Amino acid sequence: MEKKRSTLLEGSVWKGIVLFAIPIFLGNLFQQFYNTFDSWCVGNFIGEDALAAVSSSGSLIFMMVGFFNGVAMGAGVIIARYFGAGDTDSLKKAIHTDVALGLVTGGLLTFLGVVLTPMILGWMGTPEEVMPQSVSYFRYYFCGAIFTVLYNIFVGILHALGDSRTPLYYLILASFVNVVLDLLFVAVLGWGVGSAAIATTISQGLSAVLCCIRLMRLKTDYRLKVKEIRFHRKSLRQIIQYGLPAGVQNSVIAFANVVVQTNINSFGKAAMAGCGSYSKIEGFAFLPITCFTQALATFVGQNLGAGNIKRVKKGVGFGILCPAIIAELIGVTLWLLAPKLIGVFNDDPLVVDFGTRHMRTIAPFYFLLAATHCISSVLRGAGKTTLPMVTMLAVWCIFRVSYITVAIRYINRLETVSWAYPITWTISSVILLICFFKSDWLHHFRRQEEKQKA
């Protein structure tokens, strides 16, 4: 663990962030690959209705899972700080509290997902011909929601400890397992769209178990021990303090995206399939943003914990600018290749047309999304959790829903819905950039540290 620790706390700033981010990128790449393979498999072996059923899953799944993953992000900030400060006792308590929280919330999510799926799909205006397959896919997916929550918690802990490579190895294995099971269940045995969700659940469960074993085998005083998994009041309070704003933000924004998906559903199953195919491609396009955001949060957390303020300042500029440039290059590439990429999932001309129009409206503005997420990550790492939450809720939720509700009445076209994303990304990035330069976020961190010590 010491070697990984030094790459973030010592040496070249940009090299440390990049070396830490690369395994996260590759891991997320494989995870996105096996999630996308579900859509490819059902779209090619079952048909358009099945693809529409799976394609409408993104917003709903993120709405249910996003809250708990946001709370896990708060735990990652706390664990990274204790690791950077060398506070083994507090680190140990935070890790075991985080896992206990994952077990409770994961079980709750599994129950709610299975029970509420038909109701939520009904609220989303899912077409009748797609409804049975959508319900089947979602219910089987949420049967394994506890594995999804625990996996994200375990990976968050490993990342906070400076280990971004081990989760990559486990994800590579899980990806191959998922592909084999998808082909077996869907293409060979013909078990239907629900079996694609079963394959994902099994793969997610495998990677969660392997990460858990890794944490239990750490040769440190803070390794995970089953008998010590319980809530510690101080650690739980800190995790909630840092994670609750991110969790609320994720869920409410996802709810807004469910509203977006509802409007997409109103254009029919071809629009659902086309825009859903884009969402899978978008998942790959966002990977540089995701990996830099996670790396930046760990970098800021560890170095603030260690008191390396100058190092934090050096890393922040690189950590915001680099992913914005990469994201924009990817956006331009997607704009150029849009028809071919959508056609990979389903070659129906109407599906390709809807997906292409949706993609070409959104993709040129990826740099704004990158800036928003990276600035938010830095502010959260410094303990300034409320500002990103309020900004995202006001812009990505309230304004986005209001815009769609009004605009679609006057211009009833798919592009009207698609423009909701670039418009709200622009507003949020401008607000956060102004707040980033005008607010003394490092001073805010120092005040929080003084309060905790008192």
Residue 64: half-sphere exposure toward Cβ, Cα within 13 Å = 28
Dist CA 133 CA 345 (whole Å): 18
Q: What is the pLDDT of residue 6?
A: 42
- Give the predicted TM-score (pTM) of the model: 0.76
Rounded CA separation 6/4 (Å): 5
What does the pLDDT read at residue 403?
Answer: 95
Q: Which residues contact 151 (CB under 8 A, 6 or more apart)?
A: 204, 207, 208, 211
Phi, psi of 306 (to 5 degrees): -85, -5
Quick one: pLDDT at residue 17? Answer: 87
The packing angle between helices 287-305 and 269-285, to 10°, is 40
Note whether 2 and 171 are within 8 A (CB).
no
Residues 6+ apart with CB under 8 A from 391: 376, 428, 431, 432, 435
What pLDDT is stored for residue 5 in this prediction?
Answer: 43
pLDDT at residue 336, as a whole number:
96
Burial class (CB in 10 A: 0-12, 13-18, 19+), 114: middle
CA distances to 48, 94, 158 from 82, rounded to whole Å, are 50, 9, 13
CA distance 63 to 58: 8
The three-state secondary structure class of 222 is coil
pLDDT of residue 302: 84
What pLDDT is recorded for position 429? 94
Domain boundaries, the chain: 2-453
Cα(243)–Cα(275) distance, integer angstroms: 31
Vertex 18 angle, CA 2 and 159, to 5°? 50
141 phi and psi angles, rounded to 5 deg: -65, -45
Handedness of CA 422, 400, 258, 152 (dihedral sign): positive
Residues lower than pLDDT 50 in the chain: 1-6, 454
The four Cα atoms 33, 39, 43, 46 give a dihedral, to 10 degrees, of 110
- The whole-angstrom separation of Cα 217 and Cα 223 is 7
pLDDT for res 3: 42
